[in-house]
Structure 1
Amino acid sequence: MSEQPAPFRQFIVKVHGRCNLACRYCYLYEGPDDTWRERPAAAFPEVLDRTAARIAEHARTHGLKALSVILHGGEPLLAGADTLGRFTALVRDRAPKGCAVRAVVQTNATLLTEENLTTLARHRIGVGISLDGGRAAHNTRRVDHAGRPSWPAASRGARLVADRFPQSYAGVLTVVDLDRDPVETYESLLALRPPALDLLLPHGNWSAPPPHRGGTGTAYGDWLCAVFDRWWKAGRRETRVRLFEECISLLLGLPPVTEALGLEPFDAVVVETDGSIEQVDALKSAYRGAASTGLDVFDNSFDEALRHPGVAARQAGVEALADRCRACPLLAVCGGGHYAHRYRAGHGFRNPSVYCADLQRFIRHVAARLADASVVPSAPEGGAP
């Protein structure tokens, strides 16, 4: 591990801590960590003001040339598009000269309207959308608090972004669902014309396994391989799939840019609605308080958060991995998998990912496709060299 921790470059700000949906599988509101109940629903102006100041302070301290602000929740648009715009403007105004600030709101799309999107576009805030697929049948578990389907409003919002505000469209995030056909799910999402697609494995661990995870099977790896082949066959022109591009980059020896794969130090931090500084929400799928640091933006800098033992462990690279991972030939690509997926009660996070077999299956499959593509056919006899 480096003596100097890597600075944060992604600031996930909870502008609103509640959601207008009640998705039946939500690890945040249905999982083991219910600390969200103890926090205000929306971030007060003084919290956002102080957060902007702390982000700028961190950027100055580390000479950052670029950083990302992810406006998150809950459903961040419950705070109002104007609030998101004002906060983003605060960060940009206070960031040091020469530091580019990229802002994205991650939304379930149900509150996207022409007016909201106009406001977001004016403030140069990208729009990332979370969906389970591109059809009503894929989103049956995404319902509101009265049990009504969210798809009609979400699909309207997604198509409005694609049709009227393509310059704001950051992409679609989808969690892998073994109950859905992989290729059908992928193709349904293509109909929404996302410039990028994030495919995430469901948050689970050895003590609370993901759905349908049993034994040493590779159902999740098989699902990803099926979509990869469909994407690869199309020449990767239809949309970017970040997990696939990440895996290819790592296999080619290039540095990673997400936490799903690779060994680069993790660089994201969360600010909750009350100003608490926390680690990423995925850890809340492990146990109550797993993401807590005991710090807040009023009394503590982000540099203090970098020294927190939990953050340090996320940045320790190989040193934080299980012996089995350190001996694996896929280590440089897999990186041990997502940190939250390594948890086992009583043993902490120093374990292989609960998706270890799936990741091996997927990475080897991508490597094989790359190898096939790199084979140059021999020239026929009598032909040109």
Structure 2
Amino acid sequence: MSRPPLRHAEPPWPRTVDVAERRAAGWVPRPFHSFVLKVHSRCDLACDYCYMYRSHDQSWRGLPRAMAPATVRRVAERIAEHLSAHGVSEAGVVLHGGEPLLLDDETLVHTVEELRTAVGDGVRLRLSLQTNGMRLTEERLALCDALGLRIGVSTDGGRAAHDRHRRGADGRGSHARVNAALGRLASERHRHLFGALLCTVDLRNDPVRTYEDLLEHRPPTLDFLLPLGTWHTPPPGLDPSGRLTPYADWLWAVFERWYGAPVRETGIRLLDDLLALLLGATPRTEALGLSPVRYAVVDTDGSLTQDDALRTAYDGAAATGLDVWGASFDTLLLHPGVAARQWGADALCAHCLACPLHRVCGGGHYATRYRPGTGFANPSVYCADLAELIRRVRHRLGMDLARAGEKTERLRGTGPRPVEAV
């Protein structure tokens, strides 16, 4: 049976999508294997680009500061129920915020114990924590070690780059404290807890200098995040005509420095995924490509929401109307906004489908596609930048593969042969 065509005309797509019709046509939702728990809804920094506190959606103001013990237990039960129903034997849970380390030690321990007890020994539960680093003391690191929590830290590089945005409510920069925390995390004692560094791209910062500043901490992985913006509220410095591609230029400079290094210094998720897709492999994350989105978000009150980044689109964009008290994660899978992000190319607009690069870029980050009137049925506001970056990396990779092929043929004594372009 052929699938019914998607209708992108009715705003705000995809809320108008008939999921039942899609299921009748053969679509089967993929179960969640990652869960983001907003265990604390407040933060001890006031970063001026924060999608949680500085966006159109201000619903955080009405949320409990911390996830109550009863809510934690119910969330844990719902996760265990979902994993068991679908035979998922390995899953990830990220303790998020706000700032999760605003929780006291007792609550942090209770949260982890509830999660592990609920899923039982039959599931390998990978637990991690995403922090701004302000409260990452030696004592907290020891506790995270005891709890088996890997740690990701948000930082934007050197002092000037970091403190431009990542300041406290009093206006003081946070670089000194975060840098000290990273020194502790990267030490031999705690290095096994080090998950990744997250850095938001700022065009005013030198890309190579930013990369090398981050590299000083010897992170196992880096994540370069494009500032969240939409067609209604574009990211800073973006060329609306698409003739200039400043974000592609910035990331290309990082790529050349990273890719051209004599040894692999660290992973860069965005670029690793881009290379994987160009080589026909499956990316590790859902930032690029057409892999189905398989993570769920739970707010401190137990609400089941879509990706928090949707808060940058409009007030209520991330809401689903569901919570752990009355709905399972299976129910969340059938919400139009969640379901659409599992449909791959079927959920892309006509402009994206006509582009030969759509299987690599995947249409761009979902939140960055928003335009009033057509909802998320648009290319990403970063469309031109993504296309330019993909073309440059594809050309570089193709040249390297061709050279490698020629070298192999010379060694075999059969002479060079043309290598198919990537």
Alpha-carbon offset, residue 19 of structure 1: 0.3
Aligned to 2:9: none
CA distance in 2, matches of 1:206, 1:371: 33
**Counterpart mapping for 1:36-55 below 5 A:** 36-55=60-79
Deviations 1:209-241 (A, max 9, x none): 001112212100111111001000114611011
Say which of 284, 298, 302 aligns to 2:329: 302
Amino acid at match of 1:204: G
Aligned to 2:283: 256
Alpha-carbon offset, residue 80 of structure 1: 2.6
Alpha-carbon offset, residue 90 of structure 1: 1.8
CA distance in 2, matches of 1:60, 1:54: 10
Q: Is 2:27 the counterpart of 1:27?
A: no
Instruction: State the TM-score, normalized to the length of structure 1.
Output: 0.96
Alpha-carbon offset, residue 147 of structure 1: 1.3
- Higher mean displacement: 231-240 or 190-199: 231-240
Alpha-carbon offset, residue 328 of structure 1: 1.1
Aligned to 1:148: 172
Cα contact 1:134–1:192 (8 A) shared by 2:
no
Aligned to 1:91: 115
Cα contact 1:85–1:120 (8 A) shared by 2:
no
Q: Is 2:359 the counterpart of 1:332?
A: yes
Deviations 1:4-28 (A, max 9, x none): 1111111000110000000112121
Amino acid at match of 1:364: R
**Counterpart mapping for 1:1-385 below 5 A:** 3-163=27-187, 164-214=189-239, 215-216=241-242, 217-235=244-262, 237-375=264-402, 376=404, 378=406, 385=413
Alpha-carbon offset, residue 96 of structure 1: 4.7
Deviations 1:292-316 (A, max 9, x none): 0101111111111001111111112
> Aligned-residue CA RMSD in angstroms?
1.8
CA distance in 2, matches of 1:136, 1:202: 18
Q: Percent identity?
A: 49
Runs of 4+ in 1 over 6 A off after TM superposition: none
CA distance in 2, matches of 1:251, 1:63: 31
CA distance in 1, matches of 2:202, 2:39: 28
CA distance in 1, matches of 2:63, 2:375: 26
CA distance in 1, matches of 2:405, 2:283: 31
Deviations 1:226-271 (A, max 9, x none): 1001000114611011111101111111112322100011011111
**SS at 1:299 equivalent:** coil
Structure label with greater radius of gyration: 2
CA distance in 2, matches of 1:319, 1:379: 41
Cα contact 2:345–2:359 (8 A) shared by 1:
no
CA distance in 2, matches of 1:207, 1:221: 21
Structure 2 unaligned runs (5+)? 1-21, 414-422
**SS at 2:48 equivalent:** coil
Q: How many residues are matched?
A: 385
Deviations 1:130-170 (A, max 9, x none): 01113344323211111121111111111110013100000
Structure 1 unaligned runs (5+)? none
Alpha-carbon offset, residue 88 of structure 1: 2.0
Cα contact 1:114–1:160 (8 A) shared by 2:
yes
Query: Residues 95 and 270 of structure 1: is their aligned pair in 2 closer, same or farther, counting only changes over 3 Å?
Result: same
**SS at 1:71 equivalent:** strand
- Higher mean displacement: 256-265 or 295-304: 256-265
Alpha-carbon offset, residue 98 of structure 1: 3.0
CA distance in 2, matches of 1:306, 1:326: 24
Amino acid at match of 2:275: I
CA distance in 2, matches of 1:233, 1:313: 38
CA distance in 2, matches of 1:120, 1:311: 31
Cα contact 1:261–1:338 (8 A) shared by 2:
yes
Amino acid at match of 2:304: I
Amino acid at match of 1:357: A
CA distance in 1, matches of 2:365, 2:99: 24
Deviations 1:72-126 (A, max 9, x none): 0001100134423332222222215432111110000010011101000111100
Amino acid at match of 1:186: Y
CA distance in 1, matches of 2:411, 2:282: 40
Query: Residues 377 and 320 of structure 1: is their aligned pair in 2 closer, same or farther, counting only changes over 3 Å?
Result: closer
CA distance in 2, matches of 1:104, 1:283: 22
Query: Residues 58 and 383 of structure 1: is their aligned pair in 2 closer, same or farther, counting only changes over 3 Å?
Result: closer
CA distance in 2, matches of 1:186, 1:82: 37
**SS at 2:296 equivalent:** strand
